[in-house]
Amino acid sequence: MMKKQVILSALGWLLLVLLLAALCFVTASPWVLTALLLCVTLPLVSFGVNFAIRKGLHLSLSLPTSTAKKTAVSVTAELRNDGLFPALRVFVPIQVKNDLTGERKQFEIALSAGAKSSQTCEFLLDSAYCGRLSIQTDKVWLMDYFGFLPVKATLTASAKTTVLPDMFPSEVNLIPAPAVSDEGAENRRGQDRSEVYQLREYRPGDDVRQIHWKLSSKLDELIWKEPSMPESRSLLIVWDKRTQTTPNAMDAMAEAVSSVCQGILNEGVPFELCWTEEEPHTCWIENEDELLRVIPALVKSAGKADCTLPSFENYGSVLYFGTQLPAEEQDSKVKYLLCGESCEQNGQIYGFTPENVREDLRRLEM
């Protein structure tokens, strides 16, 4: 784009010079001659000024730390000029990358700054997909008065913001296998809501989040899922981001993981959350505030192909989010939620599509 503008500006300047030269030849007017001389010398003078002040320029970019999808966020660019001459026409090429989806785009902004002063300008940026937006530039172009003699100045500036995923209601009914222990049944009673010790009649004071609503509706009485002692951190939720896929699919998986996690917390079940990047990241989630705090890190970037999954051995049950079954050995205690074309569910593999993720995962029973 800049090359095209330079060529058009150069052609316009050349046309003006030829026109003034022709008028000067026909009229012999000193005023026309003066205009011709100015037209010839101004680009050279402007180029020299730009060359002299280029090292005295400083650029910074800033924006909010997070924003919502399809919502314009204001980016502030500040140009400071420490030179003795004004920088009248400064063009800044901006590169934007979504580190989660891999999307890239470029555009250009124009700035100016007087001698020993600074100027700020604001422009709007938005994204249809969640993920971390990295905004940066590594150079600017100082243009002469006519716009065809650019001077390159190396200026580095960057800023980041996280576009958060939209969350939708997801009703998740976890039905883990009854816990078994060699230490005796009485020793298995506890507070681990992801493992059921036994089903019994609801008693006043019991946590209503442990009511088995489906069975209660069938038996016409409240049935309560009594928690067991935890063998370990029993529920693991994994988002495998190692396989490259479309921006639409990455965005859908981010919404699916966040929403299903919220649905599980609504059932009163804590869990370990893991996602793959350069290495697996894990954190223990017990409430909604902890989930909301970790979501910006969860959707920050895509995963590396050589990252390894955590071991599933120490968990009673696992929910795996991805686009395909992992190369690692499959386990019967793992429920696979795969983003793809098929929406069929077979008890262990649950499919959802980017277009229908909200409907496909609105109610889950596993």
pLDDT in tens, 39-63: 999 999 999 999 999 999 999 999 9
- pLDDT score for 221: 85
Structure-token pair, residue 178: 């009854």
Q: What's the burial of 364, exposed, middle or buried (CB within 10 Å: 0-12/13-18/19+)?
A: buried
- pLDDT score for 185: 40
- pLDDT score for 192: 53
CA distances in angstroms from 271 to 260, 288, 363, listed in the order given:
12, 12, 19
- pLDDT score for 364: 87
Mean pLDDT, residues 20-28 taken together: 91
Mean pLDDT, residues 317-343 taken together: 84
Picking from 304, 293, 279, 321, the residue whose alpha carbon sits closest to that of residue 162 is 293
Confidence of residue 177 (pLDDT cuts 50, 70, 90): very low
**pLDDT over threshold 80, residue 345:** no
- Rounded to 10 degrees, the C-alpha dihedral 203/232/308/255 comes to 20
- pLDDT score for 66: 95
- pLDDT score for 91: 93
- pLDDT score for 182: 42
- pLDDT score for 343: 54
Of 183 and 119, more confident: 119
- pLDDT score for 196: 63
Confidence of residue 211 (pLDDT cuts 50, 70, 90): confident
**pLDDT over threshold 80, residue 227:** no
List, for residues 244-264, the tens digit of each pLDDT value.
899 999 999 999 999 999 999
Residues with Cβ within 8 Å of residue 26, at least 6 apart in sequence: none
Handedness of CA 216, 219, 223, 229 (dihedral sign): negative
> What is the pTM for the complete model shown?
0.78
Mean pLDDT, residues 180-205 taken together: 58
- pLDDT score for 145: 85
How many whole angstroms separate alpha carbon 228 and alpha carbon 192? 5
How many whole angstroms separate alpha carbon 265 and alpha carbon 137? 41
Of 3-7, 21-25, 188-192, 338-342, the one with minimum mean pLDDT is: 188-192
**pLDDT over threshold 50, residue 236:** yes
Count CB atoms within 10 A of the CB of residue 245: 19
Q: Do residues 93 and 111 touch, judged by C-beta distance below 8 A? A: no
Of 17-26, 96-105, 169-178, the one with minimum mean pLDDT is: 169-178
Q: Do residues 130 and 164 touch, judged by C-beta distance below 8 A? A: yes
Mean pLDDT, residues 184-205 taken together: 61
Confidence of residue 232 (pLDDT cuts 50, 70, 90): very low
**pLDDT over threshold 80, residue 194:** no
Structure-token pair, residue 12: 């316009």
CA angle 195, 199, 204 (to 5 degrees): 105
Of 118 and 177, more confident: 118
